[in-house]
Amino acid sequence: MKYPGHFSSMGSILATFLLALPPVLQAQEPDGKQLYEQNCAACHGLQFQGSGLGPALSPSSYVYGGQEWDVFRIAKNGLASKGMPAFGDTLNEAQLNAIAKYVPTRKAAEEPQTETAAPEVPQFDPVPGKVSTLDYEVDVQVVSDKLDTPWAVAFPDAQTVLVTERVGRLRVIKNGKLNEKPIAGTPEVFVHSHQWNQGGLLDIALHPEHAKNGWIYLAYSHPVPGPTADVVLAMTRVVRGKIKNHKWTQQEVVYEAAAEHYNDHFWHYGGRLIFDKQGYLYISIGDRGVLEQAREPGKPFGKFHRLHPDGSIPADNPFRNKPEFLPSIYSLGHRNPQGLAIHPETGRLWATEHGPRGGDELNVLKPTGDYGWPNVTYGINYEGTLLTPHTRLEGVEQPVIYWRPSIGVSGMTFYQGREFPLWQNKILVTALARRELRLLTLDGERVQHEETLVKFAGRPYEPVVAPDGSIYVVTDSPGMLLRLNASAERKL
Active-site residues, by number, are 268
- Is 303 exposed, middle or buried (CB count within 10 Å of its CB: 0-12, 13-18, 19+)? buried
Quote the CA–CA distance of 23 and 33 in Å, as a whole number. Answer: 17
Query: 172 and 164 in contact (C-beta within 8 Å)?
Result: no
Length of the chain: 492
Quote the CA–CA distance of 248 and 315 in Å, as a whole number. Answer: 31
Is the omega angle on the peptide bond into residue 374 within 30 degrees of 0, that is, cis?
yes
Pairing assessment for the beta strands 129-132 and 136-144 based on DSSP bridges: antiparallel
Query: Nearest 5°: phi and psi at 475?
Result: -130, 155
Which of 208, 210, 281, 282 shows the shortest CA–CA distance to 243? 210
Quote the CA–CA distance of 344 and 346 in Å, as a whole number. Answer: 6
Quote the CA–CA distance of 350 and 178 in Å, as a whole number. Answer: 32
Query: 487 and 130 in contact (C-beta within 8 Å)?
Result: yes
Which of 434, 439, 441, 420 shows the shortest CA–CA distance to 475? 434
- Return all residues near 45 (Cβ < 8 A) that are at least 6 apart: 51, 56
CA gyration radius for the chain? 23
